[in-house]
Amino acid sequence: MHLADKKLLVIGGAGLIGSHTVDRLLDEDVSVIRVFDNFTRGSRENLETALADPRVEVFPLGGELLHRDLLREAMEGMDGVFHFAAMWLRHCQDFPRSAFEVNIAGTFNVVEACIATGVKRLVYSSSASVYGDAVAEPMTEDHPFDNTNFYGATKIAGEAMCRALHHRHRGTDQNFDYVGLRYMNVYGPRQDYRGEYVSVVMSMLDRIERGLPPVVFGDGSQSYDFVYVGDCAAANVCAMKAETTDRFYNVGTGEKTSILELAEMLLELTGSDLTLAYEPGGTTFVRNRVGCPRRAAEEIGFTAGVELREGMQRLIEWRRGHAGEVERRREDAGVPG
């Protein structure tokens, strides 16, 4: 879809990926960027720069996915929709009923409203959590779904609903086009402490700032595909512009980094002479996850451009310039100072 003069709704647009996507959209010749957010996890601070642009607005009547009449009102006249709003992984484990209502019923509400209002295209925010632990590397989009946590289950359900409703309405006057993005381990400025895997980055940096050695659980061999949030924003814009439909894409670098390698990199980038502290435990939902980026490059024209060292340096610099905000995010997540 060509974005010139288009009106776009960003659901969950005040969150980490959502707010960076809003920023990225400002580089396009769009006419309206409307943010629909309840500010439970996102913040107005994340939109501070974007809101200086007259094309950006926060929908004034609320941002709850379960308020179907308001969601539909926010969507009226929109050409494209980005759907980022969801409960995070650990919260889904602890409160599965709420996760069902927000992540599954809420996503159905979004798709239903897209169809009813004639939205031309939806970019659905899925997750690499659908895969579970890697059984083959790198993980292509055809990797089996071996997820065992409820967050991943909600994302699988969201993907299945998008696909089923696309096929139900295909060829009718209510045609529904969409693509889904499976983000790997996202990190970067505006990071909070609620991400199950990437919060380890913030925790390590907290300890380094306090003069304490960063903790590595086990032998640190747990390995992931860390992707910079600005690259995720670029992937979202590529997905909205693309002509493909009923397809899912990994958003990652294809590069494997262990927690041990990450910890050593953070010590180097901060100029710290601390040594690592090894502790037993550190059980996670997955221990190994690296995505294949080929399909996204070939079909929607997205390739990650920020190397891990550069991205971590940007995060460190953001933290230094936003100390008060980082402290507030830590308190909001209930993380000890």
Question: Which domains does the chain possess?
Answer: 7-184+228-251 (3.40.50.720), 186-225+255-289+306-332 (3.90.25.10)
Give the DSSP H or E segment for 145: none
Q: Give the pLDDT of residue 196.
A: 60
Residue at 48: amino acid letter: E
Q: What is the mean pLDDT of each run of 10 residues along the chain (337 residues)?
A: 97 97 98 96 94 98 96 98 94 95 98 98 97 93 96 98 97 95 96 71 93 93 95 98 98 97 97 94 79 98 98 96 82 69
CA distances to 130, 198, 274, 287 from 260, rounded to whole Å, are 25, 14, 14, 13
CA distances to 71, 106, 267 from 185, rounded to whole Å, are 29, 23, 20
Whole-angstrom distance, CA of residue 207 vs CA of residue 112: 45
Give the residue from 268, 253, 162, 120 showing the smallest Cα distance to 208: 268
pLDDT tens string 254-311: 999 999 999 999 999 999 999 999 998 766 678 899 999 999 999 999 999 999 999 9
Q: Give the pLDDT of residue 199.
A: 76
- Across the strands, what pairs with 217? 279
